[in-house]
Structure 1
């Protein structure tokens, strides 16, 4: 099951709509960034290859997704689609590589190395979307990445959950104002609200949740068996 099937399994046949928010959560090293990359590949792929032909802004905190890894993922997506078309003839490898390169050319990488960079990236994203109406997705990998890096210098010791909610709210606001989709990864440890002191946190509507877990040494995505190979993720048919 390649990324278009993975996309359908998560979002349904019609996919996700404008202004919707997608959360991919799981423990460390569960493949969240790879799943995000796989879903991005489907969004970037041309219409004739079963994709959505979007432009994408990637706010890159963990730097696990690179141009090289994304190009490889898209190329695999294009090959899988071509091989699955009945009676169709797969384009030459050189042509697929060129198309994958064009797809990655529609991705703007906003690389972040500090909390200040993330704040700036969210501001820059607004201007980038205005200048490129083709942008339909803002992806963020990994929300909460700099929580512990910033912890010693904070005057207010925020809980992991409050820190997560603040960044989540900012991303949601950007997507609503720009009328685009948002998709992000987050460590599941940030989702636990262990310390409640009557504080009021803004409400955020998550339209689609992608929960990744490690159960008995096996990975699952929303309870379905998941495997990784050739730089991509796929659901496993039992």
Structure 2
């Protein structure tokens, strides 16, 4: 016998009605977008292009669904994001007239909500707001985006405390995973690669569905999951060998 609560049943039905992004191919996810309840990790060193890649993916998926974007690093350039959205729309709608394209851009901007967080306590409040009413009130939200998940690690580190970076990362990831599972939404986030290195096999770990690792080699070559890439005003582009 399968017993479930009325609240769980309601959230399941609400989740099924959310717009799907799993069938949307992009320059990065060539086999479709992330499935509901999945986590997408974008990792890399400083200045490797993590924020740009996140904005590029948001610009692609906001055509289909509403997106909540947590701007923690304050590196999100609204003008650049707008240009990425316009480029994505032009690629998806090559025959659209300028007026039609302008209308689609306006709708995409209305579907995007950027939340600035300047401390971990503000991020905590924002996640609670997601859980308690934002995702309940809006059935079009399918994607949560977070830029620089562990931005406040050094500010949160108490004097003489030695909380490991990986533990700190897993604690925040657990909050996001709970939200994704409960509401059947996907989450794409960036994290500095120094936080996802786990040297202790007994440490707590959370399954990550997709991992996108950006690297900037000493030679100046940039890679994404070992594929050569270039970065320009169109975002992150994979170079065909």
SS at match of 2:216: strand
Please give the per-residue CA displacement for 1:27-49, whole angstroms capped at 9, x wherever unaligned.
Answer: 1100001111111111112xxxx
The answer as to 2:52 corresponding to 1:31 is no
Identify which of 142, 145, 151 aligns with 1:139: 145
Identify which of 213, 232, 235 aligns with 2:235: 232
Q: Structure 2: which 5+ runs fail to align?
A: 1-23
Paired residues in the alignment total 216
Q: In 2 relative to 1, CA 43–145 (structure 1 residues): closer, same or farther, beyond 3 Å?
A: same
Give 1:41's aligned residue. 59
Shift of 1:98: 3.4
Shift of 1:65: 1.9
Please give the per-residue CA displacement for 1:184-236, whole angstroms capped at 9, x wherever unaligned.
Answer: 10000111234x4x8652x3111111011112211111111111222522112
**d(CA) in 2 for partners of 1:107, 1:154:** 38
Q: TM-score, normalised by structure 1?
A: 0.83
Identify which of 25, 29, 32 aligns with 1:8: 29
The answer as to 2:107 corresponding to 1:102 is yes
Contact 2:42–2:190 (CA<8 Å) still a contact in 1?
Answer: yes
Shift of 1:150: 2.3
Give 1:86's aligned residue. none
Identify which of 56, 61, 66 aligns with 2:72: 61
The answer as to 2:181 corresponding to 1:176 is yes
Shift of 1:154: 5.2
**Aligned-CA RMSD value:** 2.0
SS at match of 2:42: strand
The answer as to 2:210 corresponding to 1:208 is yes
Give 1:221's aligned residue. 224
Shift of 1:64: 1.8
Contact 2:228–2:239 (CA<8 Å) still a contact in 1?
Answer: yes
Shift of 1:7: 3.6
Give 1:150's aligned residue. 156
**d(CA) in 1 for partners of 2:142, 2:191:** 21
Q: Structure 1: which 5+ runs fail to align?
A: 46-52, 84-88
Q: TM-score, normalised by structure 2?
A: 0.82
Contact 2:69–2:112 (CA<8 Å) still a contact in 1?
Answer: yes
Contact 1:67–1:104 (CA<8 Å) still a contact in 2?
Answer: no
SS at match of 1:143: coil
**d(CA) in 1 for partners of 2:137, 2:129:** 11
Identify which of 82, 93, 110 aligns with 1:82: 93
Give 1:50's aligned residue. none
The answer as to 2:185 corresponding to 1:185 is no
**d(CA) in 1 for partners of 2:229, 2:86:** 21
Contact 1:82–1:91 (CA<8 Å) still a contact in 2?
Answer: no
SS at match of 1:191: coil
